Amino acid sequence: MISGLNRISLMNIHYLALLLACQLTGEVLSLFLRLPVPGPVLGMLLLFVGLLIKRGVPSGLARTAEGLLEHLSLLFVPAGVGVMLHISLLVDQWAALSVALIFSTALTIVATALVMSWLTVRRSDEEADR
């Protein structure tokens, strides 16, 4: 029975369970500590800290994540349904949403440019030291 599973291995299930456990832990922390941060974000932070401690991404986790990313578009279906369900709210709040989207996009572009600039300077300094 297990041999019939082409792309899914027991290792991938182990790493999928790890990803879901990180998300669940983040949800629980967010709920019980009443943090203004979404649970999945806390879960990603926990996963990131774990990967920093381990000093790398295990190959099985990388394969599992790649498999999820291949089908990422399916994860947007519930969000699309939610948008259509609450379209009247979007129509009523279009101005505020537009300002928030424009501001957050501009802020993201500026932050990305600053980080890229800092990393470029840091890399050139490291190469000069060699």
- Could you give the CA distance from residue 34 to residue 18 in angstroms, rounded to a whole number? 24
pLDDT, tens digit (0-9, with 9 covering 90-100), for 21-55? 999 999 999 999 998 999 999 999 999 999 999 99
Q: Which DSSP helix (H) or strand (E) runs through 83? A: helix 77-85
Q: How many CA atoms lie within 13 A of 36 on its CB side?
A: 0
pLDDT, tens digit (0-9, with 9 covering 90-100), for 84-95? 898 998 899 999
Least confident of 28-32, 58-62, 122-126: 122-126
**Mean pLDDT taken over the chain:** 88
Dihedral sign for Cα 74, 78, 79, 80, please: positive
| CB neighbours of residue 23 within 10 Å | 18
- On whether the pTM is more than 0.85, the answer is no
The separation between the first and the last C-alpha atoms of the chain, rounded to the nearest angstrom, is: 55
Residue 10 has a pLDDT of: 64
Of residues 102 and 4, more confidence is placed in 102
- Measured in whole angstroms, the distance separating CA 37 from the mean position of its chain's CA atoms is 13
